[in-house]
Amino acid sequence: MQHLFQKLIGLDQNLLMLILIVVFYTIEQLFNKPFEFRKRTFHFVNGIPLQVGYMAVNYVLAFVLVAWVQWIKTHHFGLLYQIQIRYAAKVILGFLAIDFTFYWAHRVYHTWALPWRLHRVHHSDTSVDTATFFRFHPFDAIMDNITFMIAVAIFGIDFNILLLFFLVNLIFTIAQHSKFAFPAWTDSIFGIIFMTPNLHKVHHHQNQFYTDSNFGLTFIFWDKIFRTYNYLPVNKIQYGLEEFDDKKKQTSWYLLKSPFLNIKRVTKHDDDKTHLTVVKSEMVKGNQVDY
Ligand SMILES: [Zn+2]
Ligand SMILES: [Zn+2]
């Protein structure tokens, strides 16, 4: 078991990322008709400058994160260094703790004006597919690394747990954005615990009522516990943000500079809000609602 764990965290995650993107991007193309070659190629290539920027910032910050993890370990700082339990239990608890921290950080990204300026780049995508994995502003890496540092300091996360989280999160993030028609039963079974692709796509709906829900990265139960869970069939989801609908606002150059522009967030009219409140209360009661 320990041997398997060491093998898992020792995987070359850059190579794995490349393989997953190629496999998912190719297979989703075969399942989706019509063959929109030009549109998809633009979408894919357009995301590359963002991803290169994200990886560059992440690479620099990795040195800070590594030094931070080492310092925490040396000083036995953080909860997991204080308790005497089996290492396997520490791995599970540590993994949950990182995901829990990201759940709250993700809520902050949506609530506070400055983080939202960076995070909205990911949400501005009007056609979610595997290439949406690329769609993060380079400075988003700063927020993500701060979140990791907070989790490491509070919970006493070590390198192995961190590497395991990176690995699982890589697989989840690519799968969550892939454009497959995952059947509803995948949500009924896996959606009890995990943030399935269909559930994450609800988070990409244009309407803020849904954008501000399903914040979890790996697990959905944080949203259920803290009442931010929402469900909507994928064929009812309209991706993107209204304020980024214009084609000119989908280019990588515009997205790179967008955090420095004052772009007013478009929210739905009061009529829609009232309607959605009714829908939500009916859903809570377990009634079937026509959207
Ligand atoms: Zn988000
Ligand atoms: Zn996403």
Q: How far is the CA of 94 from the centre of ligand 2 (A)?
A: 23
Q: Does residue 9 carry a pLDDT above 90?
A: no
Average pLDDT in the chain: 90
* pLDDT the model gives residue 51: 94
Rounded to the nearest angstrom, the distance between the alpha carbon of 122 and the centre of ligand 1 is 7
Alpha-carbon distance of 267 to 258, in angstroms, equals 18
pLDDT at 34: 67
pLDDT in tens, 156-201: 999 999 999 999 999 999 999 999 888 888 999 999 999 999 999 9
Rounded Cα–Cα distance for residues 32 and 155 (Å): 43
Each domain of the chain, given as residue ranges in start order, spans 2-183+249-284
Contact criterion met (CB below 8 Å) for 259 and 121: yes
**Ligand number, closest to the Cα atom of 215:** 1
With pLDDT > 90 as the criterion, what percentage of the chain qualifies?
Answer: 75
**What is the amino acid identity at position 70?**
Q
Token pair of 44 as six digits: 């894919």
Average pLDDT of the residues in 242-256? 93
For the CA of 208, the nearest ligand: 1
The first and second tokens of residue 260, run together, are: 């420095």
Percent of the chain with pLDDT over 70: 91
- Residue 92 pLDDT level (bands cut at 50, 70, 90): very high
| Arithmetic mean of pLDDT, 106-129 | 96
Cα 5 to middle of ligand 1, angstroms: 30
For the CA of 136, the nearest ligand? 2
pLDDT at 268: 62
Distance 223 CA to ligand 1 centre (A): 13
Reported as a single tens digit per residue, the pLDDT across 16-75 is: 999 999 999 988 888 877 667 788 889 999 999 999 999 999 999 999 999 999 999 999
- Is 214:199 a contact under the CB 8 Å cutoff? yes
Q: Measure CA 157 to chain center.
A: 20
Confidence of residue 273 (pLDDT cuts 50, 70, 90): low
In this predicted structure, what is the pLDDT of residue 86? Answer: 94
Reported pTM:
0.88
* 46 neighbors 251 (Cβ within 8 angstroms): yes
Q: Which pLDDT score, from 0 to 100, does residue 236 have? A: 92
Distance 110 CA to ligand 1 centre (A): 6
The secondary structure of the chain in percent helix, strand, coil, rounded to multiples of 5, reads: 70, 0, 30
Nearest 5°: phi and psi at 135? -85, 70
Q: What is the pLDDT of residue 270?
A: 42
What distance in angstroms lies between residue 266's CA and the mean position of ligand 1's atoms?
A: 16
Which ligand has the nearest atom to the CA of 120?
A: 1
Ligand closest to 132 (CA) is 2
From the CA of 144, which ligand is nearest? Answer: 1
Cis before 233? omega within 30: no
